[in-house]
Amino acid sequence: MHVTSRGHRAPGPGAESWARCGLAASFTRRSPGAPAAAARSQRWPSCVASWRRSWKESAGLALGRASESSRPVKDRASTWTASPEVTAPPGSRRTWPGGEGPFRGLRWSGGPAGSGRTCTLGHWLLSRPSGRLWLPGVNSNLVKPVSSEGGILNFCANNYLGLSSHPEVIQAGLQALEEFGAGLSSVRFICGTQSIHKDLEAKIAQFHQREDAILYPSCFDANAGLFEALLTPEDAVLSDELNHASIIDGIRLCKAHKYRYRHLDMANLEAKLQEAQKHRLRLVATDGAFSMDGDIAPLQEICRLASRYGALVFVDECHATGFLGATGRGTDELLGVMDQVTIINSTLGKALGGASGGYTTGPGPLVSLLRQRARPYLFSNSLPPAVIGCASKALDLLMESNAIVQSMAAKTQRFRSKMEAAGFAISGAHHPICPVMLGDARLASCMADDMLKRGIFVIGFSYPVVPKGKARIRVQISAVHSEEDIDRCVEAFVEVGRLHGALP
């Protein structure tokens, strides 16, 4: 039986596909006098050279020699050689090397076709007709989680509960589309608020057992809007060093004093809280569950410290809402601190239907303040009705029963225990993010490629997405996977692990 999961869309050419296609690039400093050819020959194995050649042909780049693009690229201060950390086997997905990741903005040694000149990628783009920059591969298709009939099983989406393909969720989206239209052509405070927006905000607050909630176009926006609206230059924010990029960016936007504590290190947080006593207000900001490792913030300890040092607690629950805790309320439910976490931001784009949208939920006056001051709320379009309809139905399903949550938890347990029994090290505990720790970037990339050949879609993550030497394949379990799917994934890992020497 094929179960089409609209949420199981493979990622675009972002950091993940970047890492996957073997170009989790590092830039190696080369002393100005060192021979470029020597550096090149070390850094471009032959299979990469042929891959690069065919990629360049398909992208329409005219380079004098096949290896020309590995010539040192200059920035103002020094000479750098762009080098891949791992190889991209022929036939793997190809992405535009200048468009994403660390190459962005650097000079590219290809010129407009035939010109032989060096120009920036931006100028090169201007010089050509717009068009496709990367070839369609698996990432351009819907990936279908299928059972034993074959096909590709997606184990790398944030579709933890499988609700993006739930028939009732899809039906609710269609109904909202028909009843309320395609979109509002407006921000919320002009004419972008319909009854369904208010209803969903009330439902979110009810789900989290908070006073009120405010919707944003995304959780990235919720994080961008919160800190600036809430904190002044007299305040302080204390942030886990591994917090999500959107929290980091949100904090950058505010004028409060910034303290960064070591990942999950409560002694370090306490020291920073003591230092921050001189400020008017303190806010501790953390991810509830960290997406690279599947580890969980020690919220009990954080809340205890916050209460001792007079701080508010903010938690980003993107990788927890809907499935962590006995009824899926999140990390605060899991750790029994629902009454101590003041502010929660989360997304509709993962477990709650997987489309898009984010929110803040917390005290009523805070939500009122955000409606007045949060810039992404004030200056960006309101969420389209279809998205609202899907998310609203997803919450209904979760509030009716926690069967889906339990099903996902059981499958997570099945995967983790079978993989550990087979000899793999899985980071984190209990979370459906199950990073299979491999250490070596090339190993992670090549194993992920071989998994795909066996019908399992997973992604290898390496530096700079994760620390050097901590490359891994991040597997994400979904309630929509069957037990047979989980077993198929484990079997493929064992086979591929043996093939590459990751298992004896």
- DSSP β-ladder status, 433-439 and 471-476: antiparallel
* 220 makes contact with ligand PLP (CB under 6 A): yes
Q: What is the rounded distance in angstroms from the CA atom of residue 150 to the CA atom of residue 155?
A: 15
* 474 makes contact with ligand PLP (CB under 6 A): no
Identified binder of ligand PLP from the candidate list 244, 329, 411, 488, rule CB under 6 A: 244
Q: Quick one: 15 or 62, whose CB is closer to ligand PLP?
A: 15
* Number of residues assigned to the chain: 504
Q: Quick one: 82 or 352, whose CB is closer to ligand PLP?
A: 352
Identified binder of ligand PLP from the candidate list 16, 287, 295, 332, rule CB under 6 A: 287
Stretch that binds ligand PLP, among 142-150, 193-201, 218-226, 475-483 (CB under 6 A): 218-226
* 61 makes contact with ligand PLP (CB under 6 A): no
Q: What is the rounded distance in angstroms from the CA atom of residue 331 to the CA atom of residue 325?
A: 6
3-state SS, residue 99: coil
What element of type H or E holds 317?
none
Q: Quick one: 81 or 347, whose CB is closer to ligand PLP?
A: 347
Identified binder of ligand PLP from the candidate list 86, 219, 273, 438, rule CB under 6 A: 219
* 160 makes contact with ligand PLP (CB under 6 A): no
3-state SS, residue 437: strand
For 140, the token pair is 């351009």
Q: How far apart are CB 251 and ligand PLP at their closest, in Å?
A: 13
DSSP one-letter string for 125-188? HHTS-----S---GGGSBPP-B-TT-SPEE-S-S-TT-GGG-HHHHHHHHHHHHHH-S--SSBT
* 291 makes contact with ligand PLP (CB under 6 A): yes
Q: Is 198 a catalytic residue?
A: no
Q: Is 319 a catalytic residue?
A: yes
* 273 makes contact with ligand PLP (CB under 6 A): no
Q: What is the rounded distance in angstroms from the CA atom of residue 362 to the CA atom of residue 58?
A: 51
Separation in Å, CA 407 to CA 154, 318, 398: 17, 19, 12
Identified binder of ligand PLP from the candidate list 95, 159, 321, 347, rule CB under 6 A: 347
Identified binder of ligand PLP from the candidate list 246, 286, 331, 412, rule CB under 6 A: 246
Residues touching ligand PLP: how many (CB under 6 A)? 14
Stretch that binds ligand PLP, among 214-222, 252-260, 376-384, 425-433 (CB under 6 A): 214-222
The angle that helices 403-422 and 483-499 make with each other, rounded to 10 degrees, is 20
Among 197, 208, 244, 350, the active-site one is 350
The distance of Cα 337 from the centroid of its chain, to the nearest Å, equals 26
Nearest to 454 by CA among 153, 61, 22: 153
Separation in Å, CA 165 to CA 143, 330, 390, 406: 12, 22, 10, 18
Among 5, 291, 346, 356, the active-site one is 291
Stretch that binds ligand PLP, among 219-227, 261-269, 274-282, 427-435 (CB under 6 A): 219-227
Q: Quick one: 15 or 503, whose CB is closer to ligand PLP?
A: 15
* 218 makes contact with ligand PLP (CB under 6 A): yes
Cα torsion 96, 25, 473, 323: sign: negative
Stretch that binds ligand PLP, among 106-114, 212-220, 441-449, 487-495 (CB under 6 A): 212-220
* 294 makes contact with ligand PLP (CB under 6 A): no
Nearest to 134 by CA among 189, 94, 85: 94
Identified binder of ligand PLP from the candidate list 170, 184, 305, 318, rule CB under 6 A: 318
Q: What is the rounded distance in angstroms from the CA atom of residue 316 to the CA atom of residue 247?
A: 8
Q: Quick one: 110 or 173, whose CB is closer to ligand PLP?
A: 173
* 349 makes contact with ligand PLP (CB under 6 A): yes
Q: What HEC string does 126-140 produce? A: HCCCCCCCCCCCHHH
Q: How far apart are CB 220 and ligand PLP at their closest, in Å?
A: 3
Q: How far apart are CB 95 and ligand PLP at their closest, in Å?
A: 19
Q: Is 350 a catalytic residue?
A: yes
* 332 makes contact with ligand PLP (CB under 6 A): no
Among 208, 244, 279, 319, the active-site one is 319
Q: What is the rounded distance in angstroms from the CA atom of residue 428 to the CA atom of residue 147?
A: 27
Q: Quick one: 44 or 220, whose CB is closer to ligand PLP?
A: 220
Q: What is the rounded distance in angstroms from the CA atom of residue 495 to the CA atom of residue 297?
A: 34
Binding site for ligand PLP (CB under 6 A): 218-220, 223, 244, 246, 287, 291, 316, 318-319, 347, 349, 358
What is the set of active-site residues?
291, 319, 350
